[in-house]
């Protein structure tokens, strides 16, 4: 998608280095950063310079390419893959991408391994773009239907950033929105700010602005009253891990939005590529929920009147905090899942019908 009218992807490989857009600096500064080795790829994931389930998967794949460039040695590669998987625990795409790469590299000799790794990382990236585009085409039908019935602007609420910045291009939750907008359907997006890191306010609103999609940033707690007032036609969010029973793990606060949506008869959709499905667990209590640094809660970062980025503390130093990064929305609150293969019920039967 576009930044300043120029097309970008979130990650690319150039001159033996990986290039990323440093998302910790957005929306105030647009900085392209180089990752030169696997350690830098791991740090970029940990510090959330790259974030969003599909994008951290792609970064991990390129991280293995960097590992081979640095030292073409099997035990180093194995250690790199373990460290990459551990860098963030909740999004299954990370493990999915590393496992896929390692399977492809297994048994390959020193001379061919780099080319094979690079090709597979590129395949992961291209596949994600294709899948996100298909999610957009499938989700477009839902927005179109509401628009035809309502004959007015479709108001869509989203949480966190499941936009193109969280993927390689298009996004998951935003892809149907971009497709609708490009088709001339009138859409308006309610953007949850998404405390504590404000991915909604800093990233979703930013990327929607760049594409010219009307949007309004709201506090995380405003969705309920907007739904009660009939100002939300549908919710659409992304996911970091979807269980085979249709339960969805996503950014903290997603669950509360789904409850409010249920109470107000607002359809609640989850958009995902198949790389986000975890077929191995059925019990959501087994999902490792990332607990992040309390500084993300105790401090906020923004730009002052001199255009300098400042970080300020917002509550007493003595106060304890708990910073859980994700929660789980049970399948019963989800209207449908929107995938690259089509739309299905959030259930084992629904998912298996699409992904036999």
Euclidean distance between the first and final Cα of the chain, in Å?
32
Shortest spacing between CB 162 and ligand MRU, in angstroms: 4
Interface pick for ligand MRU out of 166, 236, 266, 334 (rule CB under 6 A)? 166
Site for ligand MRU in 35-64 (CB under 6 A): 51-54
Q: Is 240 in the site for ligand MRU (CB under 6 A)?
A: yes
The CB-side HSE value for 147 (13 A sphere, CA atoms) comes to 19
| Rounded least distance, CB 78 to ligand MRU, Å | 26
Task: Quote the least distance from Cβ 148 to ligand MRU, whole Å.
Answer: 27
**Is 287 an interacting residue with respect to ligand MRU (CB under 6 A)?**
no
Measured CA to CA, the distance from residue 274 to residue 96 in angstroms comes to 10
Q: What angle is formed at CA 261 by the lines to CA 256 and CA 266, rounded to 5 degrees?
A: 160
Which residue in the list 192, 240, 278, 327 is annotated as catalytic?
240
Of the candidates 71, 56, 82, the residue with the CA atom closest to the CA atom of residue 113: 71
Known active-site residue 278: no
Say if CB 253 and CB 327 are below 8 A apart.
yes
The residue with its CB nearest to ligand MRU is 238
Closest CB 171 distance from ligand MRU, rounded Å? 6
Q: Which is nearer to ligand MRU, 48 or 66 (CB)?
A: 48
- Contact call for residue 176 and ligand MRU (CB under 6 A): no
Residue closer to ligand MRU (CB basis): 1 or 113: 1
Q: Give 3-state DSSP helix, strand, coil % of the chain, rounded to 5.
A: 45, 20, 35
Decide: is 160 part of the binding site for ligand MRU (CB under 6 A).
yes
The values of phi and psi at residue 178, to 5°, are -65, -40
Q: Strand, coil or helix: what is 178?
A: helix
Residue ranges that bind ligand MRU, judged by CB under 6 A: 51-54, 91, 160, 162, 166-167, 171-172, 199, 238-240, 250-251, 325
């Amino acid at each position: 998608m576009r930044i300043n009218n120029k097309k970008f992807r979130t990650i690319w490989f150039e001159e033996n280095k990986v290039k990323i857009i440093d998302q910790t600096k957005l929306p105030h500064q647009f900085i392209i950063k180089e990752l030169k080795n696997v350690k830098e790829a791991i740090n970029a994931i940990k510090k959330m310079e790259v974030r969003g389930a599909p994008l951290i998967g792609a970064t991990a794949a390129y991280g293995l390419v960097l590992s081979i460039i640095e030292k073409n040695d099997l035990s180093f590669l194995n250690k790199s893959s373990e460290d990459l998987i551990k860098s963030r625990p909740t999004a299954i795409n990370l493990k999915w991408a590393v496992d896929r790469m390692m399977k492809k590299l297994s048994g390959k000799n020193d001379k061919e391994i780099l080319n094979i790794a690079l090709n597979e990382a590129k395949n992961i990236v291209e596949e994600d773009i294709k899948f996100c585009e298909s999610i957009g085409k499938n989700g477009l039908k839902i927005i179109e239907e509401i628009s035809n019935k309502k004959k007015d602007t479709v108001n869509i609420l989203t949480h966190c950033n499941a936009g193109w910045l969280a993927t390689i291009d298009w996004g998951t939750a935003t892809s149907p929105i971009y497709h609708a907008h490009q088709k001339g359907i009138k859409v308006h997006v309610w953007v949850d700010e998404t405390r504590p890191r404000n991915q909604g306010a800093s990233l979703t609103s930013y990327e929607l602005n760049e594409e010219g999609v009307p949007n309004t940033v709201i506090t995380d707690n405003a969705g309920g009253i907007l739904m009660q007032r009939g100002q939300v036609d549908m919710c659409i969010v992304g996911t970091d891990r979807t269980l085979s029973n249709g339960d969805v793990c996503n950014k903290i606060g997603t669950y509360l939005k789904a409850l409010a949506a249920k109470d107000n008869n607002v359809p609640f959709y989850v958009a995902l590529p198949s790389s986000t499905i975890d077929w191995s667990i059925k019990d959501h209590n087994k999902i490792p929920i990332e607990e992040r640094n309390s500084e993300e809660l105790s401090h906020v970062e923004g730009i002052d009147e001199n255009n300098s980025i400042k970080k300020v503390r917002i509550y007493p130093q003595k106060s304890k905090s708990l910073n859980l990064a994700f929660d789980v929305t049970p399948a019963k609150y989800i209207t449908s899942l929107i995938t690259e293969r089509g739309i299905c019920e959030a259930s084992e039967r629904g998912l298996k019908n699409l992904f036999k």
